[in-house]
Amino acid sequence: MAINQRDFENTIKKFRIIEDARGSLWDRVRNLLLKGYETEAYILILATWNFADFRYFLKNFDLYKFENVIKKLTPIFNKVKNKTFEKTDFKNKDLQKDIKLIYSDLKKVVRQTGASKIMALKNQNLFVMWDTEIRKMYKIDNRATPNDYIEFLGKMKNEFKEIKYRNKKIPFAKAIDEYNYVKADERKKKI
Does 24 score more than 80 pLDDT? no
Does 47 score more than 80 pLDDT? yes
* Number of other residues whose CB lies within 10 A of the CB of residue 69: 18
> What pLDDT sits at residue 51?
63
> What pLDDT sits at residue 50?
65
What is d(CA 33, CA 27) in angstroms, rounded to the nearest whole number? 10
The separation between CA 163 and the C-alpha centre of its own chain, rounded to angstroms, equals 19
Cα within 13 Å of Cα(123), Cβ side: 20
More confident residue, 127 or 28: 127
The separation between CA 94 and the C-alpha centre of its own chain, rounded to angstroms, equals 20
What is d(CA 159, CA 166) in angstroms, rounded to the nearest whole number? 17
| pLDDT tens digits, 108-167 | 999 999 999 999 999 999 999 999 999 999 999 999 999 999 999 999 999 999 999 988
The separation between CA 104 and the C-alpha centre of its own chain, rounded to angstroms, equals 14
| Short-list 99, 78, 75, CA closest to 89 | 99
Q: Tell me the C-alpha to C-alpha distance, in Å, between residue 117 and each of 4, 154, 185.
A: 26, 18, 18
* Run of H or E residues at 50: none
Cβ neighbours of residue 119 closer than 8 Å, sequence gap 6 or more:
102, 103, 106, 127, 129
Q: pLDDT tier at 187 (50, 70, 90 boundaries)?
A: confident
Averaged pLDDT, 168-185:
93
Averaged pLDDT, 35-57:
80
Q: Is the Cα torsion angle 27, 32, 36, 38 positive or negative in sign?
A: negative
What is d(CA 9, CA 163) in angstroms, rounded to the nearest whole number? 9
